[in-house]
């Protein structure tokens, strides 16, 4: 039906030349999807008009619910309803125990026994890894993008906390693969925010981006200059956020109510956390709030929480973020007075005492005029748009850094740093090793990430097994190992024996990630049950196409329907048009929609031809024929 | 055919003369200019081989930039351009007085927390170390110009010691400041 869309001469007649890409902010509490349309980046709403998708997934035997509805069911169905899954990304079972030492020791999920390095949560729909849960959130966002844009997506930029380590980044990328998304880039959240902020305000100079989300904290010191966004340093805590505020308040409630945390059921615990979160949010507006909780039939508690108590509860957490700020400034070799703007990002920066403390620390006013929830997705969409080649200026450049040092384990369990934190990426470093046994043809390297001296105090990333180099006497082989970190911040390792030139086979055993084979089988499983998804998808595609056809015919009729068509012709077209409109709203069959569209195309074919002629004549009017022969 | 950039030295890549004190603003601007041409994001729609090359070239540019903007790494690199390997085993003996002075400084750093105003002491140390480093760089420039590579190398060794001490001072300052927050 493309012929109906006649454009003025000189303008593009192929709307499909514009490639569609989306930016996704996969958050701990909420997720968003954004896209650049008509040169403007904005977040995309769902059918109900809400832009934020709660990052909550409810699994049942028959279906998967994602978003607001799942969130509503959380208290009633705590075991099968997963929230804050981002905090589990790239983490191992043992780590989770040490990470969630307080209240959340009693996370309302049951973990399955597994041989895999990745923890699995038991749900009514089977055991789920954090990667699969995230993939379900990503799928929902991708669908929303396709539905709104009505076109095939080229790919997506997905944001991650700047302070995410290699395992957490890899887990995010795996989730996207599982969701069938072509990942154009993993982009650091503060960098994405700076892009949106910088392009919006035109600010140039050094800015600090303070990003406190639901479960992660990032600070990035950046240099902004005419489309160039250079990260000078970054710091943070990938397990600190608004969730921890809620936990601190919930602990306070439980203490005040004089109940034992172990006596609380999963759903009661959820409810306390829920009330804690509500109280926290309310305290950004009012001085004090009343909290009521029914612990049991004969144990009802109500109390008051005011700002002063709240501040005392979360002050230690804010202090932790300020330590990271200080370190980031030092790493960037920037003095506080050189920072022109402090940009606040993430829902948790709505808490007034966070704003106050950060302003006090930087001795500057903080910028809160941008929507802290949306800015990351908006920035990601700008980058996505540029990456697929829609950026006409073509001078957007994002330069990022490695957030945590990479090292290898040496004798005595020490970590020898190979690439230090805040090194610009991509980066590549080579190191030479030798064999210590005669005839040795393989070796293993244990790669860790973190700043501490002892391997045990760093994060174990992976064991790389290098095999297949020719045997030499001990100490004679020269094995050159190259560590390459790409623009997404992901590490790969290659190795070559220098005297023979033989490339080693490198086998990666991620400490807390999925092996390639595990991802493959997950992909396979998701394809098997994708038949229904596929039908639903092609129906949606046809619906979008139908909308476009309807819009085109309506606008053409409004333009020149009166002058070009007889009353009879008009009526015929209108009749077929309403048939299509009805099919668009009622049909559950893709074929029915297709048929209705074809019918409309047929009855309006003559009209289209007349419009074409008129358009050509109009554009030729007043021109000499010779001009067109040029 | 490999990109000609792989045959250039770091100073050539950044189009600046070999020097102990290149213009840092110029380096920064040149870095942006280079990145705008070579960064992997400019090759998002290219084939895998081109993408890989973009990543390798950008890695090289980043390494070059990091080396040139860091005062000690820069001098070390200038020596490797003359065929002097800083990481070799055959280390010549160090100036005894210098070593003595370094050991004393390390002890002072270790004890600093017992001082009444440790942050002030650390600040003074940091300033002294910066001055010493500045003087050594000047010494290096003179020796390097005369092609006295052996002595140039010794100067860089001293600078490495000072760098380490500076890092310790920074780490302890950071610790103390964190405790104060």
Tens of pLDDT, residue by residue over B140-154, are 999 999 999 888 988
The neighbouring-strand residues paired with A237 are: A217
Q: CB A388 to CB B40 under 8 A?
A: no
DSSP string, A414-463: EEEEEE-TT-BSSEEEEEEE--SSTT--EEEEEEEESS-SBGGGSEEEEE
Q: Answer yes or no: are the C-beta atoms of A453 and A414 closer than 8 Å.
A: yes
pLDDT band at B18 (very low <50, low <70, confident <90, very high): very high
Nearest Cα residue to A166 out of A421, A445, A519: A421
The label of the residue with tokens 């400034």 reads A329
Kindly state whether B70 is in contact with chain A, defined as any CB-CB distance less than 8 angstroms.
Answer: no
Q: Chain centroid to CA A354: how far?
A: 24
Do residues A279 and A303 touch, judged by C-beta distance below 8 A?
Answer: no
A449 beta partners:
A406, A459
Catalytic residues of A: 25, 86, 189, 211
Q: Compute the count of residue pairs across chains A and B with CB atoms less than 8 Å apart.
A: 64
Query: What percentage of chain B reaches a pLDDT higher than 90?
Result: 49
Q: Which of A136, A157, A223, A228 is nearest to A376 (CA)?
A: A157
Report in angstroms the alpha-carbon separations of A324 from A35, A220, A343, A598: 32, 10, 16, 61
Q: Which of A181, A242, A210, A186 shows the shortest CA–CA distance to A28? A: A242
- Which of A487, A489, A490, A491 best probes binding to B when mutated, by most B CB atoms within 10 angstroms? A487
Range of lowest pLDDT (A260-264, A353-357, B2-6, B101-105):
A260-264
- Between the alpha carbon of residue A49 and those of residues A43, A45, A52, A53, A148, the distances in Å are 11, 5, 9, 11, 12
CA distance B29 to chain A (A): 10
Residue of B nearest to A396 (CA): B36
Put simply, the answer to whether B44 touches A327 (Cβ < 8 Å) is: no
Nearest to A71 by CA among A80, A62, A433: A80
Determine contact: B59 vs chain A, CB below 8 A: yes
Binary contact (A228, B174; C-beta < 8 A): no
pLDDT number for residue A299: 82
Residue A355: the pLDDT is 93
DSSP string, A230-281: EEEEEEEETT-SHHHHHHHHHHHHHHHTT--GGG--HHHHHHHHHHHHHHHH
Interfacial residues of A (vs B; Cβ cutoff 8 Å): 184-185, 225, 228, 230, 319, 322-323, 326-327, 330, 383, 386-389, 395, 397-399, 423-428, 484, 486-487
Which residue from A600, A579, A414, A445 is spatially nearest to A509, judged by alpha carbons? A445
Q: How many CA atoms lie within 13 A of B99 on its CB side?
A: 6
**Packing angle, helices A530-556 and A130-149, rounded to 10:** 20
Tell me which chain B residues have a C-beta less than 8 angstroms from the C-beta of A184: 44
* Run means of pLDDT, 10 residues per run, chain A, 630 residues: 43 57 94 92 91 94 90 88 89 70 56 77 89 95 90 90 92 94 95 91 91 91 92 90 90 86 78 90 89 84 90 92 92 92 92 92 88 94 90 80 91 87 94 86 88 86 86 86 92 87 80 75 65 65 82 86 88 89 77 85 86 73 49
Cβ neighbours of A10 (radius 10 Å): 6
Rounded to an integer, what distance in angstroms lies between the CA atom of residue A239 and that of residue A164? 9
Q: Tell me the shortest Cα–Cα distance from B67 to chain A, in angstroms.
A: 11
Look at B35 and A397 and tell me if their CB atoms are within 8 Å: yes
* Contact with chain A for residue B157, Cβ under 8 A: no
Distance to chain B for A186, nearest Cα, Å: 11
Mind spelling out the 3-state secondary structure of chain B?
A: CCCHHHHCCHHHHCCCCCCCCCCHHHHHHHHHHHHHHHCHHHHCCCCHHHHHHHHHHHHHHHHHHHHHHCHHHHHHHHHHHCCCCCCCCCCCCCCHHHHHHHHHHHHHHHHHHHCCCHHHHHHHHHHHHHHHHHHHHHHHHHHHHCCCHHHHHHHHHHHHHHHHHHHHHHHHHHHHHHHHC
According to DSSP, the residues that pair with A4 across neighbouring strands are none
Testing the interface with B: which of A424, A425, A451 to mutate, by most B Cβ within 10 A? Answer: A424
Contact B36 A395 (CB under 8 A): yes
Of B62, B170, B178, which is closest to A424 when you measure between CB atoms? B62
- Taking CB atoms and an 8 Å cutoff, what residues of chain B touch A157? none
Nearest chain B Cα distance for residue A100, angstroms: 24
Q: How far apart are CA B157 and CA B133, in angstroms?
A: 11
> Inter-chain contact B62–A484, Cβ cutoff 8 Å?
no
DSSP lists the bridge partners of residue A41 as: A36
- Contact of B16 with chain A, judged by CB distance below 8 Å, is answered with no
Contact A198, A161 (CB under 8 A): no
Answer yes or no: is pLDDT of B1 > 70: no
Instruction: Report the C-alpha gap between A424 and A485 in whole angstroms.
Output: 10
B56·A428 Cβ contact <8 A: yes
Nearest residue in chain A measured CA to CA from B59: A427
Contacts of B44 in chain A (CB under 8 A): 184-185, 387-389
pLDDT at A390: 81
Q: Give residue A1's pLDDT.
A: 43
Element (H, E) at A36: strand A30-37
Residue A10 pLDDT: 41
Tokens of A425: 């990426």
Tokens of B169: 């001072």
Task: Sort out which chain B residues have CB atoms less than 8 A from A395's CB and list them.
Answer: 36
**Predicted TM-score (pTM) of this structure:** 0.79
All residues at 6 or more sequence positions from A369 whose CB lies less than 8 Å from its CB, including other chains: none
- Cβ <8 Å between B181 and A389: no
For an interface test with B, give the residue of A396, A426, A486, A490 to mutate (most B CBs within 10 A).
Answer: A426
Q: What share of chain A is helix, strand, coil (3-state, %, to 5)?
A: 45, 25, 30
The CA–CA distances, whole Å, from A570 to A562, A566, A597 equal 8, 6, 17
Strands A228-237 and A217-225, by their bridges, are antiparallel
Cα gap A209→A346, rounded to integer Å: 10
Q: Which helix (H) or strand (E) holds A83?
A: strand A81-83
């Amino acid at each position: 039906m493309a012929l109906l869309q006649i454009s003025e001469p000189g303008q593009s007649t192929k709307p499909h030349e514009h490639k569609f890409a989306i930016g996704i902010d996969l958050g701990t509490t909420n997720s968003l999807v954004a896209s650049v349309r008509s040169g403007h980046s904005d977040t995309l709403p769902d059918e109900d008009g809400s832009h934020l998708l709660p990052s909550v997934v409810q699994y049942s035997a028959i279906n998967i619910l994602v978003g607001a509805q799942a969130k509503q069911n959380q208290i009633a169905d705590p075991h099968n309803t997963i929230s804050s899954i981002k905090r589990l990304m790239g983490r191992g079972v043992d780590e989770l125990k040490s990470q969630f030492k307080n209240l959340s020791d009693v996370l309302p999920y049951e973990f399955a026994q597994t041989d895999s390095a990745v923890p699995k949560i038991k749900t009514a729909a089977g055991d789920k890894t954090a990667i699969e849960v995230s993939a379900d959130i990503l799928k929902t966002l991708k669908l929303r993008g396709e539905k709104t844009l009505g076109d095939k997506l080229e790919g997506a930029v997905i944001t991650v906390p700047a302070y995410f380590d290699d395992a957490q980044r890899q887990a995010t990328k795996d989730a996207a693969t599982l969701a069938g998304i072509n990942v154009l880039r993993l982009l650091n959240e503060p960098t994405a925010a700076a892009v949106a902020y910088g392009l919006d305000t035109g600010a140039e100079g050094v800015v600090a981006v303070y990003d406190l989300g639901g479960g992660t904290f990032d600070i990035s010191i950046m240099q902004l200059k005419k489309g160039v966004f250079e990260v000078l340093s970054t710091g943070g805590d990938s397990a600190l956020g608004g969730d921890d505020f809620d936990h601190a308040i919930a602990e306070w409630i439980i203490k005040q109510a004089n109940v034992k945390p172990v006596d609380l059921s999963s759903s009661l615990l959820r409810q306390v956390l829920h009330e804690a979160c509500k109280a926290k949010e309310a305290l950004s507006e009012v001085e004090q709030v009343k909290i009521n909780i029914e612990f049991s039939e004969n144990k009802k508690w109500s109390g008051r929480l005011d700002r002063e108590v709240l501040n005392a509860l979360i002050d230690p957490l804010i202090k932790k973020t300020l330590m990271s700020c200080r370190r980031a400034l030092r790493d960037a070799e920037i003095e506080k007075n050189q920072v022109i703007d402090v940009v606040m990002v993430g829902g948790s920066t709505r808490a007034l005492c966070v704003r106050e403390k950060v302003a006090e620390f930087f001795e500057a006013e903080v910028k809160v005029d941008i929507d802290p929830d949306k800015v990351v997705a908006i920035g990601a969409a700008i980058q996505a748009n540029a990456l697929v080649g829609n950026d006409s200026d073509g001078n957007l450049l994002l330069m990022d850094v490695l957030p945590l040092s990479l090292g290898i384990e040496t004798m005595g369990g020490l970590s020898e740093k190979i690439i230090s934190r805040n090194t610009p990426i991509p980066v590549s470093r080579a190191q030479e090793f030798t064999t210590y046994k005669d005839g040795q043809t393989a070796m293993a390297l244990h790669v860790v990430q973190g700043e501490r001296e002892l391997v045990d105090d760093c994060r174990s990333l992976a064991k790389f097994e290098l095999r297949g180099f020719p045997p030499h006497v001990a100490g004679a082989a020269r094995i050159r190992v190259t560590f390459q970190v790409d623009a997404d911040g992901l590490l790969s390792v290659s190795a070559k024996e220098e005297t023979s030139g033989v490339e080693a086979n490198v086998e990666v055993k991620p400490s807390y990630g999925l092996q390639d084979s595990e991802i493959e089988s997950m992909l396979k499983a998701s394809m098997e049950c994708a038949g229904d998804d596929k039908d639903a998808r092609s129906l949606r595609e046809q619906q979008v196409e139908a909308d476009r056809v309807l819009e085109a015919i309506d606008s053409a009729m409004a333009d020149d329907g009166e002058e070009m068509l007889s009353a009879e012709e008009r009526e015929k077209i209108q009749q077929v048009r309403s048939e299509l409109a009805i099919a668009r709203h009622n049909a559950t069959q893709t074929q029915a929609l297709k048929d209705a569209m074809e019918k409309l195309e047929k009855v309006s074919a003559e009209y289209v031809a007349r419009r074409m002629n008129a358009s050509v004549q109009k554009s030729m009017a007043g021109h000499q024929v010779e001009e067109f022969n040029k | 055919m490999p990109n000609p950039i792989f045959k250039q030295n770091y100073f050539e890549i950044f189009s600046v003369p070999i020097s102990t004190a290149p213009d840092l603003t110029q380096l920064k601007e040149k870095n942006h200019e280079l990145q705008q041409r070579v960064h992997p994001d400019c090759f998002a729609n290219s084939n895998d081989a081109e993408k890989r090359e973009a990543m390798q070239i950008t890695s090289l540019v980043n390494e070059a930039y990091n080396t040139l903007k860091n005062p000690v790494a820069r001098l070390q690199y200038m020596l490797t351009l003359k065929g002097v390997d800083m990481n070799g085993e055959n280390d010549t003996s160090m100036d005894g007085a210098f070593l003595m002075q370094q050991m004393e400084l390390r002890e002072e750093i270790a004890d600093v927390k017992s001082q009444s105003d440790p942050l002030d002491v650390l600040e003074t140390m940091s300033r002294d170390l910066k001055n010493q480093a500045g003087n050594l760089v000047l010494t290096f420039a003179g020796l390097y110009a005369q092609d006295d590579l052996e002595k140039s190398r010794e100067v860089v060794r001293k600078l490495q010691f000072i760098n380490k001490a500076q890092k310790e001072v920074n780490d302890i300052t950071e610790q103390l400041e964190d405790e104060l927050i």
